[in-house]
A = this chain, B = another copy of it.
Amino acid sequence: MNIGEAAQASGVNAKLIRHYESIGIIPKAARTEAGYRVYTETDVNILAFVRRARRLGFSMKEIKKLVGLWRNRTRASSDVKALALQHMKEMEQKIEELQAMVKTLRHLAKNCHGDHRPDCPILEGLADSRLNT
């Protein structure tokens, strides 16, 4: 399987596959005599694994760890769980931050006429030093 077919099968862009290899996320692919990368079913599984983890918002650093744990049959499930729980915590924090931002903006927008007049509580709110925090 060459890189294009592996990309098709795994859902990971060919360009991205090379990038993942270059930064050590995935093992270096074997090559043909002409220098083309060659992939096995296992390689495709790893790539799909990376893609799913990425879609769940894991950073490449975290994914590197996860791939290592995945390939290691003697890993402890506690290692994986800790990584997942930590990641969940960070995402929940991010959600709270975003919700606070939306709340503030909604409050400001509520009192904005939204017409041709220049008065705008949104801008005034942004300019208000009491909003410093």
CB distance from A121 to the nearest CB of B (A): 8
A30 contacts the other chain (CB 8 A): no
Contacts of A57 in B (CB 8 A): 98, 101
Complex: A114 Cα to B55 Cα, angstroms: 23
**B126 lies within 8 A of A102 (CB):** no
**B106 lies within 8 A of A88 (CB):** yes
Interface of A is mostly: helix
Among A75, A101, A112, A122: residue with most chain B CB under 10 A: A122
**B84 lies within 8 A of A91 (CB):** no
Given contacts A95-B95, A98-B94, A123-B70, contact A116 B52 (CB under 8 A): no
**Residues of A that sit less than 8 Å from B by CB:** 11, 45, 48-49, 52-53, 55-57, 66, 69-70, 73-78, 80-82, 84-85, 87-88, 91-92, 94-95, 98-99, 101-102, 104-106, 108-109, 112-120, 122-123, 126-127, 129, 131-132
